[in-house]
Amino acid sequence: MALSRRSLVGLGVLGASAAATGGAIVFRESPIVRGLIGRSVALKGYVGGEKMAFVENPRTIAALKSSALVMTSERAGSVEQVRDPKLLATKPQFLWPSSAPLVELARRSAKVLKDEVIFNSPIVIYSWKPIAEGLIRAGIATREGAHYYVDARALIDAVLQRKSWKDLGQPDLYGRVRLTATDPNKSNSGFMFAGLAANLLSGDVATMDSLPGVLPKLTDLFQGMGFKSSSSGKVFDDYVAGGPGAQPMVVGYENQLVEWILADKDRWKRIEGAGGPAKPVALYMKPTVFSAHPLIALGPEAIPLIEALMSKPLQEIGWRDHGFRGPLGSVGAQTDPMIAGRMPDQITSVTPMPDIETMLTLLKSLS
Amino acid sequence: MKRLAIVLAAAAIGLLAGCGPSRTPFHIIAGSEQKSLEPLILDFCKQQHTECRIDYKGSLDIGLMLDAEAAPEVDAIWPASSLWVEMYDSRRRVKALKSIYTTPVILGVRMDKAKDLGWVGRSVRMTDVLSAVKAHKLSFLMTSATQSNSGAAAYLSMLASTLGDGSRLDPSALQDAAAQAMVKTLLQGVARSSGSSGWLKDLYLDTAKAGQPYEAMWNYEAVIKEANDVLRSRGGSLLYAIYPAEGSTYADAPLGYVEHGQGQANRSFFDKLQAFLLSAKAQQQIASSGRRTAPGMASPPKSEADWNFDPSRTVPSIGLPEPAIISKSLTLYQEVLRRPSLTALCLDFSGSMQGKGEAQLKAAMRTLLNPSEASRSLIQWSRADHIIVIPFDATVRTVLEGDGDATSQARLMASVETETAGGGTDMYACASAAFKAMQPYLNKGYLPALVLMTDGRSERENDFAQVWRTEGHQIPVFGVTFGDADKTQLNQAADLTRARVFDGGKNLTEAFRSARGYN
């Protein structure tokens, strides 16, 4: 059947229209264009407490919006977000825990479409200036420039030996040395500290072979801590709120104090100017472990989020406003004058985490 | 077409409702120790043109509210300590929980008593407190450890002090006979208990005003300061602050959002409120009240050396165990270690209680006298308690007695079940009978209380004060109302005997439960 001229013209119009519509659809699906026309994709997921301030930072929100992304994040412990069936049943599109080995755990519970380390932060111990000075007097800490370093094994031994604060150069505090971490079965900073302690007590990176020999001490260390929160962010909030009496030493991420200083610079000026014992300090452990913060995309919509978070503007916000080091542990280009020199450029003494099977066995013993 | 217009209009209204602030007041449930900060919050709400409502509950009530099947119809909670949220919020309803201030629970000792005990200007250990209680040289007010955070904090410090150097609560203390005996002796020092730290402070101040102050009170450092501010203004004797050397248990006063789908406007208001309370301006006001704020937030108030108050002093905290161990510790308190109760319950079975009243009263008793029901609210009896139940109308119908053993409770309940409403009302006759029945058990280590439940007005009242003075032996007389009961008589009895009245109009079981928390 031959087509009339009118029909051909009609088909041509239809084809052009279809091409234009298709083009517009492709064009509109570009994240930048979606951002420009204000049609953002809202992504729902769980984020470790220590990154909530980054996620809620208006500059972060604006930068993500320009990539047409909106993060609807709920705080959840890093370990529980990759393991807890109740949390995974809520169908999160992304998870953002604080440790690379946790990606392996996430794979066992959900289909991971893509994952990439966005930030890095070493695990530190938060304490108070008089306590840090006491540790120096007791011979287990040093001060190098503006930074305090503590012998991690010696500190863990002091806790296990139930040494008193007096033994550690702090006669003003009654009782035994107390160090608190988060619940390693729920939150990453406790999880990482458990891995570090296992390494230190084993004398090398802990393995399935060496772990049984050190488990009694590890169990004692964690049981002795008593109540352990499920969120690193909450532990840090409690640390600054509680002061040296309530919270003498807690395990946290390097960036948390930086973020806290930058969140209210006047507050920090008042602390520096005031007398009294309430001056927060970070004790860098020798050795320590690096906490990586991998974003795990469980839904296809979350894959562009990885690209956006790896972009220069968002990496700079992570460093400048929140003290997160880049994916390779390096410091950012711009540093707020308020925190310049506060963080060592290089963290030289780092131990790798035990493998995931060893960690799972360890977690089981600590639950 | 008309239907479409209605649908569109409804959608538009829905959208508008979603955008604007909530029309109902922003509802906060707080611990009684936050009461003095209420004006700070209400001023902020006013500035934000948002109506706020603050109701006060004990820590356990806040915990049970979070634990309930149905989400509580509240927007925020501000309990004394995050401990209760950790123990009860298994459904993760509370979001953005942040400490607003901290304050340790300490022992305030009447100045002359502190001097007598030789505690002024020196370090005092929990063993010193134990020795003073043992020698009958010290008694104190302390809230119920299972109902209120300050009592729980004092009790956990006591339990921690029994093993090792006392700076951490070792879970093995729960199985250690010597440790339990020590805490049991310490708790013999409880002169009066309550379900509210704020109410306990008022009780101390009332008795001080009447020239009969108690000897000491476990309470928050900030609440002791509030009490001392009043005592100082009256020219009275202050409470000397004892910080047990082993350490204290801190309240961290966390404010958290309770999520139940209220919408973004409510959440935004909460965020603003929390940011305001953590701002330098609000923190300065909070610090001025004697509460401890985070470093750099505010200048602490001046220390007051005459009562050993120094908010800049580092007070070590007790190391607390996991929430599950704390729960076990609280059960141990309720079932074994606390001072046993001598409780008389006067139950109104007059004619006006017919129908709904009788049914609700029996339902309330089925909770109170059933170990598994009562233990949900941690008010279960122990074998050491003595319970007197007196159903009454115009006269006393019978006097039933038993203990906290399950069989004994079942027997008491079975008798209550046989009662039917009828006749006139005379709660005073019941009170007299209760005093008589309690008499043989007084001065035998029990903590006594009479709970008078009535829905009406008793005709004979003229000699109650006299009867209480001669036969009442300082027993506090709590009231529980039902229906539209005239509260005047119960209030008079409660005021005279330094107790309080609980409104059972909405929920009689809850009212009895609250009353039980004071004994």
Nearest CA in chain A to B171: A226
Q: Do domains A40-121+291-339 and A122-290+346-366 have the same CATH topology?
A: yes
Decide: helix, strand or coil at residue A149: strand
DSSP strand pairing (B254-258 vs B94-99): antiparallel
Residues of B in contact with A246 (CB under 8 A): 102, 104, 250, 252, 315, 317
Residue B472 lies inside a defined structural domain of this protein: yes
CB contact under 8 A, A237 and B98: yes
* pLDDT above 80 (res A344): yes
The upper half-sphere exposure of residue B7, i.e. CA atoms within 13 Å in the direction of its Cβ, equals: 4
For chain A, the structural domain boundaries read 40-121+291-339, 122-290+346-366
CB contact under 8 A, B295 and A278: yes
Let me know whether B222 and B368 are in one domain: no
What integer pLDDT is reported at residue A1 of this predicted model? 39
What integer pLDDT is reported at residue B159 of this predicted model? 97
The pair of structure tokens assigned to B495 is 């005021």
Nearest CA in chain B to A270: B296
Let me know whether B316 and B240 are in one domain: yes
Interface check B292 vs A, CB under 8 A: yes
Residues of B in contact with A238 (CB under 8 A): 82, 99, 252
Non-local (6+) Cβ contacts of B90 within 8 A are B67
Strand partners, A290: A122
Let me know whether B218 and B350 are in one domain: no
Mean per-residue pLDDT, A68-79: 91
Give the distance from residue A280's alpha carbon to the nearest chain B alpha carbon, in angstroms.
Answer: 8
Interface check B322 vs A, CB under 8 A: yes
- The count of structural domains within chain B is 3
What integer pLDDT is reported at residue A12 of this predicted model? 43
Residue B335 lies inside a defined structural domain of this protein: no
Decide: helix, strand or coil at residue A262: helix
Query: What tens digit of pLDDT does each residue of B331-385 get?
Result: 999 999 999 999 999 999 999 999 999 999 999 999 999 999 999 999 999 999 9
Give the distance from residue A116's alpha carbon to the nearest chain B alpha carbon, in angstroms.
Answer: 27
Let me know whether B206 and B257 are in one domain: no
Interface check B98 vs A, CB under 8 A: yes
Let me know whether B348 and B427 are in one domain: yes
Let me know whether B396 and B507 are in one domain: yes
Max distance between CA atoms of chain A, in angstroms, equals 103
Residue B45 lies inside a defined structural domain of this protein: yes
Residue A119's nearest CA partner among A337, A321, A282 is A321
For chain A, the residue count is 367
Let me know whether B38 and B76 are in one domain: yes
Of A74, A238, A248, the CB nearest to B252: A238
CB contact under 8 A, A246 and B102: yes
* pLDDT above 90 (res A348): no
Query: What tens digit of pLDDT does each residue of A237-263 get?
Result: 999 988 898 899 999 999 999 999 998
* pLDDT above 60 (res A353): yes
CB contact under 8 A, B294 and A240: yes
What integer pLDDT is reported at residue A261 of this predicted model? 92
Within 206-265 of B, beta carbons closer than 8 Å to A belong to 245-247, 250, 252
One pLDDT digit (tens) per residue for chain B, 519 residues: 444 444 444 444 444 333 434 558 999 999 999 999 999 999 999 999 999 999 999 998 999 999 999 999 999 999 999 999 988 998 889 999 999 999 999 999 999 999 999 999 999 999 999 999 999 999 999 999 999 999 999 999 999 999 988 889 999 999 999 999 999 999 999 999 999 999 999 999 999 999 999 999 999 999 999 999 999 999 989 999 999 999 999 999 999 999 998 988 999 999 999 999 999 999 999 999 999 999 888 988 899 999 999 988 889 999 899 889 999 999 999 999 999 999 999 999 999 999 999 999 999 999 999 999 999 999 999 999 999 999 999 999 999 999 999 999 999 999 999 999 999 999 999 999 999 999 999 989 999 999 999 997 887 766 889 889 988 888 999 999 987 777 899 999 999 999 999 999 888 998 998 999 898
**Terminal-residue alpha carbon distance, chain A:** 78
Residues of A in contact with B169 (CB under 8 A): 226
Residues of A in contact with B314 (CB under 8 A): 172-173, 243-245, 277
Residues of A in contact with B296 (CB under 8 A): 264, 267-271, 274, 278
Residue B368 lies inside a defined structural domain of this protein: yes
Interface check A185 vs B, CB under 8 A: no
Residue B73 lies inside a defined structural domain of this protein: yes
CB contact under 8 A, A175 and B280: no
Query: What tens digit of pLDDT does each residue of A206-224 get?
Result: 999 999 999 999 999 999 9
Interface check B160 vs A, CB under 8 A: no
**Separation CA A308–CA B371 (nearest Å):** 58
CATH code, domain with B88: 3.40.190.10
Of B96, B295, B297, the CB nearest to A280: B295
Between B124 and A347, name the one with better pLDDT. B124
Residue environment code for A340-349, b if the CB has 16+ CB neighbours within 10 A, otherwise e: eebbbeebee
Phi/psi at B155 (5° precision): -65, -45
Nearest CA in chain A to B169: A226
Highest mean pLDDT: which range of A133-142, A339-348, B480-489: A133-142
Give the distance from residue B102's alpha carbon to the nearest chain A alpha carbon, in angstroms.
Answer: 6
**Separation CA B97–CA B192 (nearest Å):** 33
Containing B501, the helix (H) or strand (E) segment is strand B501-503
Tell me the residue type at A214. Answer: V
Residues of A in contact with B93 (CB under 8 A): none
Model ipTM value: 0.82
Residue B95's nearest CA partner among B290, B258, B312, B286 is B258
**Separation CA A25–CA A181 (nearest Å):** 50
CB contact under 8 A, A277 and B99: no
Let me know whether B412 and B269 are in one domain: no
Interface check B442 vs A, CB under 8 A: no
Query: What tens digit of pLDDT does each residue of A156-179 get?
Result: 999 999 999 999 998 888 889 999
Given a contact cutoff of 8 angstroms between Cβ atoms, the answer to whether B499 and B477 are in contact is: yes
- Least confident piece of the model among A73-87, A180-194, B296-310: A73-87
Let me know whether B360 and B445 are in one domain: yes
Residue A193's nearest CA partner among A224, A151, A221 is A221
Interface test with B, best of A162, A227, A367 (most B CBs within 10 A): A227
Residue B481 lies inside a defined structural domain of this protein: yes
Residue B72 lies inside a defined structural domain of this protein: yes
Let me know whether B240 and B259 are in one domain: no
Residue B496's nearest CA partner among B511, B474, B518, B515 is B474
Given a contact cutoff of 8 angstroms between Cβ atoms, the answer to whether A132 and A280 are in contact is: no
Interface check A58 vs B, CB under 8 A: no
Taking residue B275's Cβ as centre, other Cβ atoms within 10 Å add up to 11
**Separation CA B238–CA B240 (nearest Å):** 6
Give the distance from residue A180's alpha carbon to the nearest chain B alpha carbon, in angstroms.
Answer: 10
Residue range(s) defining the domain that contains residue B325: 103-251+305-330
Of A175, A238, A277, the CB nearest to B165: A175
Let me know whether B139 and B194 are in one domain: yes
* pLDDT above 90 (res A277): no
Query: Which CATH superfamily hosts domain A122-290+346-366?
Result: Periplasmic binding protein-like II (3.40.190.10)
Residues of A in contact with B250 (CB under 8 A): 242, 245-246
Nearest CA in chain B to A241: B294
Give the distance from residue A101's alpha carbon to the nearest chain B alpha carbon, in angstroms.
Answer: 26
**Separation CA B302–CA B318 (nearest Å):** 26
The upper half-sphere exposure of residue A189, i.e. CA atoms within 13 Å in the direction of its Cβ, equals: 31
**Separation CA A329–CA A122 (nearest Å):** 8
**Terminal-residue alpha carbon distance, chain B:** 67
Specify the DSSP class assigned to residue A248. S
Nearest CA in chain A to B91: A86
Let me know whether B475 and B458 are in one domain: yes
Specify the DSSP class assigned to residue B93. -
Tell me the residue type at B502. Answer: F
CB contact under 8 A, A226 and B97: no
CB contact under 8 A, A174 and B102: no
Interface check A270 vs B, CB under 8 A: yes
CB contact under 8 A, B314 and A277: yes
Between A330 and B337, name the one with better pLDDT. B337
Alpha-carbon distance values, A319 to A64, A230, A339, B138 (Å) = 16, 25, 11, 57
**Separation CA A218–CA A184 (nearest Å):** 12
Strand partners, A69: A41
Name the pTM for this structure: 0.87
Interface check B165 vs A, CB under 8 A: yes
Residues of A in contact with B102 (CB under 8 A): 241-243, 246
CATH classification for the domain delimited by A40-121+291-339, as one of 3.30.1950.10, 3.40.50.150, 1.20.58.220, 3.40.190.10: 3.40.190.10
